[in-house]
Amino acid sequence: MADVGELYLGQQLDLSTGEDSGEPLPYDRDDLTTHGVIVGMTGSGKTGLAVVLLEEALTSGIPALILDPKGDMPNLLLNFPDFAPSDFAPWVNDGDARNAGQSTGEFAAAQATMWRESSGITPERMRALTSSVEFSVYTPGSSAGTPLNIIGDLRAPSADTDIESIREEAAALVGGLLSLIDVDADPLASREHILLSNIVETAWAAQRDLDLAALIAQVLEPPFRKLGVFEVDTFFPAADRRALAMRLNGLVASPSFSAWTEGAPLDIGALLHTPDGRPRASIMYLAHLSDAERQFVVSLVLARVITWMRGQSGTNNLRALVYMDEVVGFVPPTAEPPAKRPILTILKQARAYGVGLVLATQNPVDLDYKAMSNAGTWMVGRLQTERDKARVLEALSSAAGSADLPAIDTAISGLGKREFVLHNTHDRGAPKRFSTRWAMSYLRGPLTRQQLPALPNLAAPPAAAPATPAGEAPASADASRAEPAEAKPALAEDESPVPPSVASGVPVYYVDPAAPWAPELGAVAGGKRLAPVIVARAHLRYDETRAGVVHREEWEAIIPLDGDVRLDQARQVDVDERDFRRDPPEGAVFVIPSAKLDTATFFRDVERDLKASLQRERTVELFANRELKLFSRVGETEEAFRARCEEAARAEADREAVKLRDTMESKMDRVRAALARAEDRVEQYQADTQTRSSQEWIAGAGALLGAFLGGKSSATSIAKRLGRSASGASSRRGQTTRTRQRLENAQEAFGRKAEELEDIEADLQDDLADLVERWEEVAAQVERLQVGLERDDVDVDEVALAWLPTK
């Protein structure tokens, strides 16, 4: 492969015909930082494509965390570079062998031969994968594979973890625990969720570890007096808290629950890399768990991924890949299961940290719209129904307005097994159709728990990385380098070394002066005077029924806060998580605005006014050709739209031309038939004229000879005979003359029909020229259309406070 960052997924096919182009499919692994979706019905080759994608990523040095609800992904370990039948034999399906009319041994030998002769993969490449990557299969709640300590001692995240990550990890833990005891885990509506989340967050924010015993004890005696504005006993009476504690205790007392607290630690860094830096492929095998248990594991694992990634430096390159197979039920469009929130958070934020998420599903209806619209790579295989295809096309039109939907639609309809259509928002070209390469792994289908211990290529579980004790400085810290603090200048009347109170629940950020947009707003590197601004994020939905356009747009802006919020001075920017710091600079001075930052009402008013302003002022421009019933796609240039109109007009002109030619050809066929008949008559009359002329001459000569030689030779007799001959000759000349007249008439008729045929052909050319000219005029009838927003089309996702270093 020419480029270590390029993944070889298979061979490129002609988009329309499916013929092999002879070229490999190019795909840059860093494109996965904007995440991907693999869609395909059962039997489409979806699992094979996922395995190939993971093999390529791992071979290129990218670690993978694999969530496997179905049990297919341990196939990654079935790597047999010797192509020995004895290697295949333990893993072939007896049913496959019976269907092939072979014994298990014969079928294994046939598989080995096929792999050796047809795969096109060298043993060296297969060995390179298993030697450079450590493979592990974890079985939470079971010892069939490597046990995973999912909840263990509930250790607090590291001291430098931001409060948002602590909150999200606590919510995932609590949501999973409550799902195990069949309690509604809605973070906003469930009082059980609110109580437990506050207990966990309070402990972790103070760097205190928990265990389940301590958590249950604090349910009975919470470490705080109020929840919101209510006393704890009012919000959640003691008797009800005791009932919750009993249910949690029953879970902990269950003999099977001990497996959840044993095994390798849930350390994302250790799951992704070996101590010497080699990549790991860590498979979370979940096929043995109930739906609630799967939700618990997935939500907690992904919450830990979020905490881990936020501790990494920003990058545009792929750092790690998270793959989730058969995502149905985890991020549905209408419900809010525990796993949904961390999945959406990763899709939204992980790009900045180089973490890619790939979701696979049999049906696009399985996925929430927000998840689908955040995916930059789509690999679509054969689909079950037209409704599924329509859902995919709808998602593509929103996630990537530049997608060639008609071409994708046509290509999907003609896909075969192991064929996929690739749409990549990083690739400005047309969608690509490809067939997957042969996997290095033997794809035998789902594995049972009992088969896991026998898997080849299994590595030992990772040990926990030692954590730095809370409050302890890193070993590299050098206190001897501390310098005397500079004298601080006197503060202005509106300045304070202490930040003002901010309403509960409102995020607070500190702008990095290196952010691309910060200097334009007056940010200064090293600045310690922090001015308040509003960070606003919203999703806009432009819906134009006539055009069949539904366009969703993410809107982010920095808004000055100078007494009042200045919406008219909002600066739209591309806000990235890397644009903010967790803490203010040392010695920071805060400019205190007159706005009531400590009241939720202030931020609600900002949200309301922002929504009204966006609804009033934001539009998108479309181009329309009403005669052709064509509307542009959002972002399509006028030049491109006019080219599309011209193409559509040419198609209409071609259709009308076909009809016109058919009509004219029918007329010309009738004239040609009449012309042929006239030509036949001309030929007939020409022959008749020649015959009669010959007959007239011969008869005249015969009569003359007869008059002189026949009978009596007296003058009177000869005169009589000459008279009779002259009479007969006159009759014959009359017949000849009439025949010649018929010939002339037939020739004139032939000429008229020939002229009529020429006239029809000339009319056809004139009509075709008029038709082309008319449709050219139609194609040029392009008008502009402004699409605005209605009240329900604006969703304000966040109104936060940020501090901008000005000097």
Which tens digits make up the pLDDT trace of 607-657?
998 888 888 888 888 888 888 888 888 778 888 889 989 999 989 888 888
The DSSP bridge pattern shows strands 508-511 and 529-544 to be unpaired
- Which residues in 731-744 are b (16+ Cβ under 10 Å) and which e? ebeeebeebbebbe
Cα-based torsion angle of the residue sequence 200, 202, 206, 209 in order, rounded to the nearest 10 degrees: -20
Q: Residue 114: CB partners within 8 Å, gap ≥ 6?
A: none
| pLDDT confidence of residue 83 | 94
Residue 466 has what pLDDT?
41
In angstroms, the CA 199 to CA 188 distance is 15
Give yes or no for residue 355 having a pLDDT over 50: yes
pLDDT digits (tens, 9 = 90+) for 156-201: 888 888 888 888 888 888 888 888 888 877 777 789 999 999 999 9
Which of 635, 518, 507 has its CA nearest to residue 571? 518
pLDDT (0 to 100) of residue 479: 33
Residue 722's pLDDT is what?
56
Instruction: Give 479-539 as a DSSP string.
Output: GGG--PPPPPPPPPTTEESSPPP--TT--EEEE-TTSTTTGGGT--TT--EEEEEEEEEEE
Side-chain-facing half-sphere of 110: CA atoms under 13 Å: 12
Separation between Cα atoms, residue 766 and residue 441, nearest integer Å: 66
Q: Any idea which of 101-115, 242-256, 420-434 has the lowest mean pLDDT? A: 242-256
For range 487-492, the mean pLDDT: 57
Query: Of the ranges 100-109, 171-180, 333-342, which is most confident?
Result: 100-109
411 and 433 Cβ atoms separated by less than 8 Å? yes
- Pairing between strand 549-562 and 564-565? antiparallel
At 682, list the tokens.
């001309």
**pLDDT for the residue numbered 486:** 42
The tens digit of pLDDT for each residue in 284-293 reads: 999 999 888 8
Share of the chain above pLDDT 70, in %: 87
Other C-beta atoms within 10 Å of 623: how many?
Answer: 21
Under the banding of pLDDT at 50, 70 and 90, the label for residue 719 is low
Confidence of residue 146 (pLDDT cuts 50, 70, 90): very high
Can you state the percent helix, strand and coil of the chain, rounding each to 5?
Answer: 45, 15, 35
Token pair of 303 as six digits: 């919450």
pLDDT of residue 133: 95
Q: Is-contact 379 49, C-beta < 8 A? A: yes
Q: What is the pLDDT of residues 401-410, one digit of tens each?
A: 566 788 888 8
Look at the chain and count its residues.
Answer: 807
pLDDT confidence of residue 108? 92
Give the 3-state secondary structure of residue 53: helix
pLDDT at 469 over 60: no
Comparison of pLDDT for 39 and 731, the residue scoring more: 39
The enclosing H or E element of 285 equals: strand 280-285
Classify residue 99 as exposed, middle or buried by CB count within 10 Å of its CB (0-12, 13-18, 19+): exposed
Q: Strand pairing partners for 800?
A: 535
Q: Which residues contact 295 (CB under 8 A, 6 or more apart)?
A: 175, 176, 179, 329, 330, 337, 338, 339
* Cα torsion through 222, 228, 231, 235, rounded to 10: -80
234 burial type by CB count under 10 A (0-12 exposed, 13-18 middle, 19+ buried):
exposed
DSSP conformation class of 92? S
Token digits of residue 126: 């297969």
Q: Positive or negative CA dihedral for 513, 514, 518, 524?
A: positive
pLDDT for position 483: 38
Q: What residue type is 540 in one-letter code? A: L
Distance of CA 79 to the CA centre of its chain: 30
Q: Are 227 and 183 in contact (CB under 8 A)?
A: no
Task: Compute the mean pLDDT over every residue in the chain, rounded to the nearest whole number.
Answer: 83
Q: How confident is the model at residue 720 (pLDDT cuts 50, 70, 90)?
A: low
Question: Cα torsion at 679, 684, 689, 692 (round to 10°)?
Answer: 180
- Bigger pLDDT: 489 or 692? 692
Token pair recorded at residue 533: 């601004």
Residue type, 640: A
Residue 457 Cα distances to 69, 80, 131, 284, angstroms: 21, 10, 9, 16
Question: Tokens 């304000």 appear where?
Answer: 796
6-59 pLDDT, tens digit per residue, is 899 999 999 988 899 889 998 999 999 999 999 999 889 999 999 999 999 999
Rounded distance between C-alpha atoms, residue 94 and residue 91, angstroms: 9
Q: Is the dihedral of CA 42, 46, 48, 50 positive or negative?
A: negative
State how far the Cα of 571 lies from the Cα of 535, in Å rounded to an integer: 10
Beta-bridge partners for 556: 537
End-to-end CA distance of the chain: 50
Helices (H), 374-473: 386-399, 405-413
pLDDT over threshold 60, residue 323? yes
Quick one: tokens of 631?
């509307």
Residue 699 has pLDDT above 70, yes or no: no
Strand pairing partners for 581?
510
Q: What is the residue type of 494?
A: D
pLDDT of residue 131: 93
Q: Would you give the distance in Å from CA 170 to the centre of its chain?
A: 30
CB under 8 Å to 14, separation ≥6 — which residues? 21, 433
* Residue pair 432/421 in contact by the 8 Å Cβ criterion: yes
Q: Which residue has the higher pLDDT, 520 or 551?
A: 520
pLDDT(227) > 50: yes
> pLDDT band at 801, cuts 50/70/90?
very high
Q: What residues have CB less than 8 Å from 658, skipping those under 6 apart? A: none
Distances (CA, A) of 610 to 569, 570, 614, 616, 618: 12, 10, 6, 10, 11
Judging by beta carbons within 10 Å of its beta carbon (0-12, 13-18, 19+), is residue 772 exposed, middle or buried? middle
Q: Given pLDDT bands bounded at 50, 70 and 90, which one contains residue 395?
A: confident
Task: For 553-612, write each residue's pLDDT tens digit.
Answer: 888 999 888 767 778 788 888 888 888 887 788 888 888 888 888 888 989 998 998 888
- Decide: 34 and 351 in contact? Cβ < 8 Å: yes
Per DSSP, the residues of 685-728 read HHHHHHHHHHHHHHHHHHHHHHHHHSS--SHHHHHHHHHHHHHH
What's the half-sphere exposure (Cβ side, CA atoms, 13 Å) at 111? Answer: 29
Instruction: Please tell me the predicted confidence (pLDDT) of residue 768.
Output: 85
The CB density around residue 574, as the number of other CB atoms within 10 Å, is 10
E strands present in 175-270: 226-227, 230-231, 264-265
| DSSP-assigned beta bridge partners for residue 564 | 562
**Contact call for residues 12 and 21 (beta carbons, < 8 A):** yes
Structure tokens at 733: 């000349």
Per mean pLDDT, which of 50-54, 230-234, 728-732 is the most reliable? 50-54
